[in-house]
Homo-oligomer: A and B are copies of this chain.
Amino acid sequence: MSYWYNNTAPDGDIAVSTRIRLARNINGYPFPAKMSAAQRKEVNEIIKNAISDIKLPGINALNFIDMSDVPDNERYSMLERHIASREFVLNSDNKAIILSDDETVSIMIGEEDHIRIQVILPGLQLEKAYEIANSIDDAFCKKLNLAFDNTLGFITECPTNLGTGLRASVMLHLPVSEGNGDILSITKSVNKIGFTVRGMYGEGSGASGSLYQISNQITLGISEKNAIDNLKVISQQLIDKERKLQEGLNSVQTEDLCMRALGTLKYARVLSSNELITLISRVKLGINRGFISDDINPIKILIEGQPYMLMKKYGSMTESERDAFRAEMVRNSL
């Protein structure tokens, strides 16, 4: 199975992934939070039928999955692969998800809204991700009676999603911009124009792994195209800046930092989730600087080293057992 993170991607040296999410609801049903179990099942069926004959170019088979059939470890691992939200996997009663074989497309049913179409692609690929999401949205529009208001646009449970229902986000690896303190000023300035920056792992300014997600906050009074174009410009600026900063790192100390991280990953017998993130970040930098072979896919290792990804593969275990399995998995990947 080739998941989204298995592929190389445009601007993949800095851009880890691009996500597009569209929130949609069906007329005649309350929002999921107010739905009865019977209504949830009805909506699941309606959407299941709607996708049954959808064939879209470039999207491989869509599979309807009843979340109550999904074992815990598999369910929580969806969060770690970034194909479902925390709320969705924590409480999945009467929920369902539609996944393409490569998990590029994931459609959550019964999350905050009836339908959440998500497309995730590696690197910076906003137009392509939007195009895919949009083709699915078009297909739903034809088959379902979606809640839409001529003034407000698509109706969503949370007012912050009203209008386009679009959330576009880009995950960037910004170790040098972070080290420079640039992230703080960037966060402030993009906030002013309706975008947010947040660390993907860890809390506060010292996001572990230097992975940051930049996303739009405004969905009302702005077209999808504008929102995506703006995010693309911001992302490209951040990427160019980080790339330039990385190119300036020529010291043996940088090489040492990156190579030691690789050495630890190759030799450790116990590896916590947090340490993995920190070391993977340095290895990624080392690949960009040419110190480390680009045969290594650090993002794949990072994702496959997450707790539920490991337990999905090796079965449930304690944290310390997991740290040993993680170290083994990482060694085998390198």
Q: Which residues of A contact B (CB under 8 A)?
A: 252-253, 255-256, 259-260, 262-270, 324, 327
Contacts and interface: CB of A to CB of B under 8 A. Distances in A.
Contact of A266 (B252, B263, B324): B263
Contacts of A263: 260, 263-268
5 contacts: A253-B270, A256-B327, A259-B269, A260-B267, A263-B266
A71 to B, nearest CB: 27
Contacts of A269: 252-253, 255-256, 259-260
Contacts of A255: 269
Contact of A256 (B252, B256, B266, B268): B268
Contacts of A324: 252
Nearest to A261: B267
A201 B6 CA distance: 48
A269 B262 CA distance: 12
A256 B268 CA distance: 5
Contact of A267 (B252, B253, B259, B270): B259
Count chain B CB atoms within 10 A of each CB in A262, A270, A324 and give the residue with the most: A270
A22 B324 CA distance: 52
Given A253-B270, A264-B264, A264-B267, 9 more contacts: A252-B270, A252-B324, A255-B269, A256-B270, A259-B267, A259-B269, A260-B263, A263-B265, A266-B267
